[in-house]
Structure 1
Amino acid sequence: MTTAIETEHLTFRNGYFTLRDLNLTIPKGKVTAIVGPNGSGKSTLLHLITKLLKQTSGDVRVENMSTAKLATKSLAKRLAMMPQCKQSLPSMTVKELVSFGRAPYQKWYQTGASNGDRDIVDWALQVTNTKKHANRMFDTLSGGEQQKVRIALALAQQSPILLLDEPTTYLDIAHQLEMMDMLKSMNKRFGLTIVMVLHELQQAAAYCDHLVALKEGHIAATGQPQQVLTARFLKEVYHIDAKVVFSEGYPLIIPLTQSYCHLEAVKTI
């Protein structure tokens, strides 16, 4: 397995939270979901990979290069980050916003976008089906369209690795599936390595090749969805009783709530 991202004994401590001795491998060219309960360290891990946070100890390697040795622009050419949508963006047109994705490639003396930059921005808008909104103000778009523009911004960096922090949060089910379909398509078409924080385990099972599960700041499990998403895992990590069945090779999670147990009892009468 070719590696896109590795961590070695990665540790982060602040006054109230600790990530402890994380050793993990993110496969190249695959879709990986980072899952786990609230507060388990998922977003913190992304921020450590992108150097938005500084680790207490340990190492992060992106494409076999330690991020400690990479300047900000060099790292931005290797990976792009789409933060949680609760983070505000400046008021400007969609095209102006997506153009910021070209910043890692621009020289200090450059006063405007080159023809090549403009072509890449147009490509990113086309791929995400947001070109029709190019001249609209970003803050006038719906939540679903804003999320697609954020992905266009990340794509404009032309980095081989794309990190996304909860890309489907606040979207209705139709827009969630549209978002996941688009990301999977980009993985297949362009060979992008995609790493995303997800809360919806069923989407992780259906769309992702690899899972990294965190619990209380440590790795609880890694592997393919069918290997990780077991009844025992759900009990130990999420503290829920659930039944896991398979449909077309994908695990389906059925929580064993009181309502479900009542229905099962009725069926046996």
Structure 2
Amino acid sequence: MYIQKVLSNGIRVAAERIPYVQSVSLGVWVANGSRCEKKNENGISHFIEHMLFKGTEKRTAEQIALEMDSVGGQLNAFTTRECTCFYAKTLGDYAETAVDILSDMIFCSELSEKTMETERAVVLEEIAMYEDSPEDVVYDLFTETVWGDTPMGRTILGTPESLSNVTPESMREYIRTHYTSKSIVIAVAGSFGDELFELLEKYFGSRSIEHNEVTFENAEYRSGTAVMKRDFEQVQLVAGFRGIDIYD
């Protein structure tokens, strides 16, 4: 059975009961990705994804991991050009643990300067590894060619220069203005009862958050050809073309 609800602060919930499973999966989807970033903050969405796992006002990073492990749960996240998703999977009996931790991470992360400097180095290493991966490099070259010097044409990870601009204060402000009631959707699937919606209201709906729409710069599709010569063992090729409008 498919259920849609809106929490008291405007966050939307989409849920589907699957009666023959014992687990439940929850995803907090934020309509914010690298396409929502300004050039001088490119990579902040992905950087935030990293930082929200690094401790909150009441949990250390280790406690977040151990608490999910203690109930046999899984916790992860990813960032794309168009969205960021934080998700958890656990047995239905421990759904409150997953909801509590996800809410705590998103709304109460500490974002300390010391932790940020450590994690900035991790992201810079990730960028270096990415640039040594030809299948990743060629796709970024493709998007840069198609979308040009727009947020859609830039990398998800950002650059060393743009990441150096990110501070705890700028990250908090970005979360405040981009993690809003109009940009967050909670998706749930699996084994759960009506009490789950009470938990979502308790841990998410009670939060005081902004209600503005997240805006971004539209990018015009451009045709073209780009070649990058690198000392790789293989040749990577990407070909693309304009598709059907999603609203057609």
Q: What TM-score results when the alignment is normalised by the length of structure 1?
A: 0.22
- Higher relative contact order, structure no. (Cα contacts within 8 Å, ≥ 6 residues apart): 2
Q: What TM-score results when the alignment is normalised by the length of structure 2?
A: 0.23
